[in-house]
Chain A
Amino acid sequence: MNLAVVLFAAVAAVTALGAVGVAASRSMVRAGVWLLVTLAGVAGLYFLLGAEFLGAAQLIIYVGGTLVLVVFGVMITSQGPFAVLQTKRMEWVIGGLLAGGLFALLAVASMQLGQRETTEATSPAVHELGLSFLGVGQGGKSYLLPFEIVSVHLLVVLVAAAYLARAKKRVDPDGRRDPIETTLKLETLPAGSGQPNSSEARP
């Protein structure tokens, strides 16, 4: 037992616990908190593996950015402080079987892959990563094109997200324009038409 093994066991336990929490918790708010634990645990794994830059990026982008997006999504779309959508028992069984089967398959494959002797490489420094992204890395490794594609993709996606999520004017089938449709939609719906399922459980 040396330090690396103990640290890996601790971080892996935290990560796995968070993942189980995300999968098992009914309330979306709790699932979000468990997701925070998992993402932080994965960042810890990156630090353990010597990928400091990736760990920092994980903390900044995932924990600081994506998780905030998810929490806002939960807040905007939740219908009550404790609203929970019930899942059918059959779906739990099927999902459990699927997940268990996939885990068994992947674990066996990982064991076989781990049989090969591994040599531990020194992890690349941050400047190596940056130079390879800019196409001037050593050894002729250039990722300039994927880098550009990913950056343009990010720009396009953010413009598209802003366009999709805007409050829009909707044209009714009879041609009447209702400029405040979006904000008043929920109140003007006939009772029950927005929720075809009556299985909302509210304590």
Chain B
Amino acid sequence: MTELGLTPFLVLAAFLFACGVFCLATKRNAVGILMGVELILNAANVNLVAASRFVPELRLEGQVFALMVVVLAAAEAAVALAIFLNFYNNHGSADVEAAKELKG
């Protein structure tokens, strides 16, 4: 584990983050955008846990904050899905392009 170091984990987290951003930019289905957000949150979590392993000052904090992120992600998914269901009831589609009512 020691010869692995922090860098591979950070690079993998950056890759997960990039995939999540790509999801956000290209998906038109609202649930797909939610999946992109999940990817981004997981990337942040990988960073936190890797830091808790390899940076002694963050030994406890990394895992504590990662647990907080997991809970917040679950809460976010629940509310986002409730909003999407409402949106689907009102527009008959999960396409975010249909949400144009607040557009100027």
Decide yes or no: A49 and B50 within 8 Å by CB, A5-B3, A5-B4 being known contacts.
yes
Q: Is the CB of A110 within 8 A of B14?
A: yes
Q: Chain A contacts of B6 at CB under 8 A?
A: 110, 113-114, 118
With the chains together, A50 CA to B1 CA distance in Å?
Answer: 10
Residues 92-125 of A, flagged 1 when their CB comes within 8 A of B and 0 if not, give 1011101110110011011101100011111110
State in angstroms the CA–CA spacing of A44 and B1 once bound together: 14
Query: In the complex, how many angstroms separate the beta carbon of A43 from the nearest chain B beta carbon?
Result: 10
Chain A: interface size category? 35 or more
- Least CB distance from B18 to A in Å reads 4
Pick the contact of A4: B1, B52, B66, B71 (CB < 8 A). Answer: B1
Interface majority SS (helix, strand, loop, mixed), chain B: helix
Cα distance A128–B16 when bound, in Å?
29
Q: Which residues of B contact A15 (CB under 8 A)?
A: 12, 16
Residue count of chain B within 8 Å CB distance of chain A:
81
Nearest-neighbor residue (CB-CB) of B18 within chain A: A103
State which residues 4-49 of B face A: CB under 8 Å.
4-32, 34-36, 38-39, 42, 45-46, 49
Task: Give Cα distance in the complex from A109 to B70, angstroms.
Answer: 25
Interface flag for A8 (CB, 8 Å): yes
Known: A23-B36, A99-B18. 8 other contacts (CB 8 A): A4-B4, A22-B23, A35-B39, A113-B7, A119-B56, A128-B60, A160-B79, A196-B100
Chain B residues in contact with chain A, CB under 8 A?
1-32, 34-36, 38-39, 42, 45-46, 49-50, 52-56, 59-61, 63-64, 66-68, 70-79, 81-86, 88-89, 91-95, 97-98, 100
